[in-house]
Amino acid sequence: MNRLYNALQLKRLYQLKQLGFRYVPLIEKRNGTSTALPNDLEALKRIVSECRLCGLSKTRTKTVFGEGDPNASLMFVGEGPGAQEDTTGRPFVGRAGELLTKMIENAIEIPRESVYIANIVKCRPPNNRVPTPEEAYTCLPYLMKQIELVAPKVVVALGATAYHYLTGDRSGITKVRGEVIERGAFLLVPTYHPSYLLRNPSAKKEAYMDLLKIKRLLCENC
């Protein structure tokens, strides 16, 4: 019950932030509980595995928390798990995952294991549809805590959905891809989602240029 209460309050805070609020009154604690998520990735993963805050929990096979180096300088954020991810509990393991691995290892020239990979939502939306705002905002506190704990120098938003929920900007990905956006403790770079690249191979050249920019940013901040 305490975890449910905490997550609901965090959801409320992020919803208010997306509406433009920059300050909200402190939410009262109830029965001595705190609204803070744990400062430990494994503890956070356990909370996510038990989450029942939105309807996606009713159709999932496994939650897909994220994986990679917990001290990574580079983090990738996608939209949500697909069918294979839902089965395995791991992010980006299907065809899009294979392409993402090539993007990381061939263009940025670092092992996939040295980055951290997560998604906006931790459960698969039915038929791989785009997460609803309610689903995304419910799950967003988990992702923001992951970013806080991993503390990457660069976060790559893979596709329009990831970009929108990380920034609040609804601009299309073709308009903003490749931009470097300061987000406090990290730099955000949006680019095409690997699934989009599989459907539109002609966009791979632009994505490659984005990846080279990301590589330079990592070198500049190493």
Contact 77, 120 (CB under 8 A): yes
Is position 56 within any domain? yes
Is position 17 within any domain? no
> Burial level of 181, CB count in 10 A (0-12/13-18/19+)?
middle
Q: Which two tokens stand for residue 198?
A: 């599989």
Is position 38 within any domain? no
Contact 187, 217 (CB under 8 A): yes
Is position 32 within any domain? no
DSSP code for 54: S
Would you state the pLDDT for residue 17?
55
Tell me, what CATH number does 86's domain have? Answer: 3.40.470.10
Query: Coil, strand or helix: which one is 91?
Result: coil
Would you state the pLDDT for residue 187?
97
> Burial level of 142, CB count in 10 A (0-12/13-18/19+)?
buried
Q: How many CA atoms lie less than 13 Å away from 129 in the CB half-sphere? A: 9
Is position 37 within any domain? no
The DSSP bridge pattern shows strands 186-191 and 181-183 to be antiparallel
DSSP strands (E only) in the chain: 67-68, 74-78, 116-119, 154-158, 181-183, 186-191
| Cα distances (angstroms) measured from residue 217 to each of 73, 104, 142, 169, 188 | 10, 14, 26, 22, 11
Is position 123 within any domain? yes
Is position 155 within any domain? yes
Domain that holds residue 172: 44-220
Hey, what amino acid is at 203? A
The count of structural domains within the chain is: 1
Tell me the H-state helices in 50-172. Answer: 83-88, 95-102, 133-150, 160-167
Is position 136 within any domain? yes
> What are the backbone dihedrals phi and psi of residue 116, each rounded to the nearest 5 degrees, phi first?
-120, 140
pTM for this one?
A: 0.86
Per-residue pLDDT for the chain (222 aa), expressed as one digit of tens each? 454 555 556 656 655 555 554 444 433 343 444 457 999 999 999 999 999 999 999 999 999 999 999 999 999 999 999 999 999 999 999 999 999 999 999 999 999 999 999 999 999 999 999 999 999 999 999 999 999 999 999 999 999 999 999 999 999 999 999 999 999 899 999 999 999 999 999 999 999 999 999 999 999 866
Would you state the pLDDT for residue 23?
43
Would you state the pLDDT for residue 138?
94
Would you state the pLDDT for residue 220?
86
